[in-house]
Structure formats: structure tokens, C-alpha cells
Amino acid sequence: RYVEAERLVISAAQHAPADRVSSQLFEIRRAALYHGRHVSWGEGDTLYRRLYDETVAQLLDPEIGDDFDRVLQRWHQILIAAERRRIAAAEHDLRQLTQNEFHTLIRRHSAQSQLIVSRIGDQLMRLADRETAVEFLLDRMESPSVALQWTQPRQRWNANVPRLQELVLETVTPPATNTPITRYRPALRRLRDRYETVVLDGFHETLLAQDGSNLALFGPSSSQHLRQHHQAVLNVVERALAETSGSISHLQFITNFLLGYQPPDTRYVIRILQDKAEHDELDTSLQNRLVDLLISENRDIEALRIIDKLVAASPQDIATRLKRMPIAFRLGRRALLQDDLTYLKTKLIPPETANESLVVQLASTCRSCLLWDEAVSLYEAAIRRHGSPRTVDHSLSDLYASLSICQAHLGLVPDAVDSAAAAWTVCGNDPARRATAQEMLTEALRQADDLTPVVRHVEETAVRNQRDSSFLRRSLGIALMETEHWAAAESQLRTALELQSLDSESWTRLRTCLQRQHKPEAAVEVLLDQIETEPRSLSLYEELYDQLISLNESRLAERGATSIVEVGLNESENHAKLAELRERTNHLNAAIVHWRQAAELKQEEPGPLLSLFDALLKAGQRNEARRTLQTLRAKKWDERFEELPTQLRERQQQLRNQ
């Protein structure tokens, strides 16, 4: 009822702000145009003409100011409505505006240039065709007079190219490879030369302006639509490098661009940097970057030549000498390695007075060069500088873990064990650091030819300090198990459980030790002890049942099985667990009873009924199985059980096949 709505707004005009009245009237008349209805301005072509002319007049008004975005949006909406009603004049009006008024709009509203281009490009695509829209955007990119309206040439690129690429590129999947690729649209072949020139010129401007916008469009995978593929991009890079010769900032920008690929174009960057290095055009940061890239490509000899020059130019540079040590080690330059180490320790990083982080860096470098003695000495110095922790200390934990590795490689197994234990002690509850400490201790224990001295050391330390460690004892037990010293492992694991009775892993390993020593009764006793600490663990009762059956203790085993229902917190899960046990031991009738009880207690889930069907079918009770399947089909289940229809079809097939 657009006419009535229009009258209401007009009647209220004297009581409302003018801009609100204008906005409401426009929206009513635009909606009438879109839906092909009548208002006071007419309908169809007549209504379109009045709306369009009024809006364009506002759009071109030099005093429009902040209302420009709103009026441009109105213009866009009018053309969308005209497209829907197939108004022929709309395309002509659009072309007229594009040819006669576009430069005026851009000149007056350069801040909204991207919006203007986007709106006009969209409308050309709608009312004309893709080729016309592409030509419009190419004209914008090629026109120097338009480019001057932006504060920088690269803004012309950022305003136009993303939309331009959307129009000219398409993604297809060739049947031969079944891999999607981006390619130039065959229908736009006539414009390809202009397109590639514009795009690569825009990329050139981007490099010169050091603007990272849209650089991702020129990676190896994205540039495959160019006829020269990625070589076209590299040609532009070479051109930009030649034009900015001597500019460190441009070289850094281009280097970052090339290394931003996945995978990075490392070899090409190395070639560029080496060429610049020959002409002394690299600063220290780029020389170091070249060294890092050469190292990553295993080109140590070339890296060493550059790093030698860096050290000669700045002998006090700690980072450069630290970087040179591993290179010297890999190349077998022992004298050079020792010279750098001595220089660093005596002049730059004295272990007892230098900053802790520098000492740690030197220790890590020695470790990477397999200088275990030096690394131990330096890590110990860093730990002394760090001091004793009052609470959890992750940094100290890392230091002790690293020290443990080095001590283990020197065969100092008791010391390595102490260091790993210290790493565990101060790491707190951090899972990653706990895992690292455990790994270090395990590795240290594996280094020992004979664990007897280590066991003696741990026990003497516990007596001397009047403090023991379940972590150490369990780790010792595991190491002894690996060497099949079952009795000694049993002793350590029992001690670990005295210190920490809730350690499920220690209980399990202790039972393994007893079974390996052919002590099944003792293993059952241990299992009963664990059940006292974990009385709600159904899996323990299941294991107890199996152990007692193996000992021909059927009566006791049955008591263990029935305990599953009695002790669990969830009655449905208890019956399900006991049903699984009965089914596994081929007591199918008993299993069916418990599956029925589980299904009754957990009616909102189909799982127990599915298991009941399986047990019935296995027991040969086909009629009962069929009734269970009918129950499953008849009930409406929650949406989360999306796999249920497939499960029911499979079971229907099983029923037919039996």
C-alpha cells in the first residue's frame, strides 16, 4: 500500500526533520519501483526517471558533503530496482554517468574512490556485461589523470585490482588432475594484454611504495593465470631492484615478499642477496639474513665466508660469534670453534659475571657443537646465577633439563638423574615441562650401562636429605623393567606407590613385574590394593575378574564381577560394563539381562539397545533381536545420533543374513 504510506509521510512532513521525510519518501518510492507498484510519481519507467534524475543531481552537487555515501547507496539501489524491472534506460544512464561524470566524482570525493569504483563496476556487471565492467576498471588503472586524484599511485591499485581479479579470473577443476586451478576467463581473451600489463604495473608500484597490500596475489600459486606464470612476477621484481639500487629498505621489503611464499623462494633470495653482497650493498642485518638462509640450505662454506667478514668488522658482536661456532663445528674447523669459545668466555660472556641469558645462549651453542664438558660448566654457572626458586620456576626447570642431557652424554648418570629430578621439582604442573623432565630422566637412565650405582645413589640421597621422590622411583622402576630386572623394578615401584598411591601407571607396571616373575597371586593382591585407592574404577574390577578366572577362582571372580554394578556411580554404565564382560566370556544370557537393564535406565540413548540387539543375534534369538530393532526404528531419537540410520540398516542386513 505504497500510495497510502506516501500520503502519511507527506502529511507529517511539517512535523518531522526534512532529512527523515526525504529518506522515508525515497524508500517508499524505491520499494514501489522494485515491486512494480504505483505512487504519486508514477510507476515503471516514469518513476525510475524521476528517482534517478533527482538522485544523480544530489550526487553531483558540489555541496553534498557528508551525505555523499548515503546518496551513492541510493543511486546503487535505484539501479538494482531498474535491473529487476528490466528498465532499458538504466544501462544508457549508467554508461553516460561513467563517461561524463566519473572524473568529477573522483576529483571531489577521492576518499571514497574505492567505493565509487566498486559501485559502478558492480552496476556495469549487472546492467551491461562482464567485459564492459572489466574495460571500465582497466580504464581506471590506465588513466594518468585518474591516478593523480589519489594521494599515491598505489591507492589506484588497491582500489581496483581486487575487484578486477574477481571479474577476469575463474577457478576450474580439470578432470585429469582433479585439482582446482585459477585461470583467466577465455571469454575475456581480447583484454588479456591490457589486464596483465595493468596488474604487473600495479605490482611494480606496490614494490616501489613498499606497500604490503594484496602482495599475496603474486605468490607462485596465485600467479599461474599469467601467461609467463611466476616468471612475470620475478621480472617485475628484477625491474624494481634495478630502479631502487642502493635502497636497503626496498631490498628488505622485496626479500620479505619472496620469503613469504609457502614454500619460501629461498634460493632466489640468496641469489639476489649474494649479488648485492658482491657490490657491498648489504647492511649488517641483511648480511646476517643471508647467512641464515645459506645455513638453511646447508651451504655452510658460503655462510662462513660472509660471517668471517662480519666478525672481522665487529669482533665484539656476540650473536655473530655464536652463529659462527656451529658452522665451524659442522665444517670440522676445531681451531676456529675453540678460538670463538675462548674469546666469548674470556672477553664477552664470563660465566660467573655475565648476564644469565647470555650464559645460557653460550651453553646451548656448546651443546649443539657436542662440547658436553663446556655445556655442563656453563649450565651450572647459569643455575648458580639464577638462584634457588621460592615457587614454581619454568626457566630453572628448562636449565636443569638441559644440564641433565649434557651430563648423561658424559656418562654422569647419577648427576643427570639429580638434574632431571630438579627439573621436575620446579616445573610445577606444566604438562609440557613435566613431559620434558620425564623424557630427560628416561634418557639419562638409558645411558647407564649398569643401573645399580644409580639406584644406590638415589637411595643414599633420599636417606641423606630425608626426602624421597615418587617421580624418581617410578622412573627407575621403568628403566629397570626395560632391562628386564623385574625384582629390582618391583622394589622401586613399590617405593613409588608408598610415596604416591594414586599413580595408576605405577600400579599397572608393578603388576606387570609380578606377572613376569610368575607371581600371579601377588599380582592379584596388588590389584586389590589398587582397588582400595580407586574403588569406583570399573576397569579394575573387570581386570580382577580376568585375573581370578585365570587362577581358577571362579567364585571370587564372580564376586568381582557383581561388584561392577554395586560400586559404580552410574547404574546404566555399570550394567553396560558388566554386560560387556559377560559377553566377552560368552555368558550371553547374562549379558542380555544386563543390556536390557542398561537400556531401561538409559532410554534417551540408542547405544544399549543396539548392543542388546547384537547380543540377542549372537545368542540366536532372532525374534527378540527383530523386536529390538523395531523398537529402535519406532522411537524418535535426538538429532545428535546422526549415524543411527546407517547402524540400523547394517543390523537389518545382519538379521537377514543369519
CATH code for the domain in which residue 382 is found:
1.25.40.10
Residues belonging to the chain: 658
Model pLDDT, residue 297: 94
Domain end call among 449, 476, 495: 449
Number of independent structural domains in the chain: 2
Instruction: Read off the pLDDT of residues 50-100 as tens digits, 9 standing for 90 and up.
Output: 999 999 999 999 888 888 999 999 999 999 999 999 999 999 999 999 888
Within a domain: 98: yes
Model pLDDT, residue 143: 67
28-36 — which CB contacts under 8 Å span 24+ positions?
28/2, 29/2, 30/74, 30/77, 30/78, 30/81, 31/2, 32/2, 33/78, 33/81, 33/82, 33/85, 34/80, 34/81, 34/84, 34/85, 36/85
Within a domain: 13: yes
Within a domain: 248: no
Average pLDDT, the chain: 86
Instruction: Read off the pLDDT of residues 144-159 as tens digits, 9 standing for 90 and up.
Output: 544 444 445 555 566 6
Within a domain: 409: yes
Give the pairing of strands 169-172 and 181-184.
Answer: antiparallel
Within a domain: 419: yes
Q: List the domain range (segments joined by +) for residue 407.
A: 356-449
Domain end call among 72, 93, 128: 128
Model pLDDT, residue 146: 47
Instruction: Read off the pLDDT of residues 84-93 as tens digits, 9 standing for 90 and up.
Output: 999 999 999 9
Query: pTM for this structure?
Result: 0.61
* Strand partners of residue 215: none
As given in the structure block, the three cell numbers for residue 182 are 585459477
- 3-class DSSP state for residue 307? helix
b/e code 283-303 from CB counts within 10 Å (16+ = b): eeebbbbbbebbbeeeebebb
Instruction: Read off the pLDDT of residues 572-631 as tens digits, 9 standing for 90 and up.
Output: 777 777 777 777 777 788 888 888 888 888 888 888 888 888 888 888 888 888 888 888
Within a domain: 21: yes
Model pLDDT, residue 178: 80
Within a domain: 407: yes
Domain end call among 449, 467, 501: 449
| Angle between helix 89-100 and 44-59 (nearest 10) | 10
HSE of 198, CA atoms in CB hemisphere, 13 A: 27
- 3-class DSSP state for residue 445? helix
Instruction: Read off the pLDDT of residues 330-379 as tens digits, 9 standing for 90 and up.
Output: 999 999 999 999 999 999 999 989 999 999 999 999 999 999 999 999 99
Within a domain: 557: no
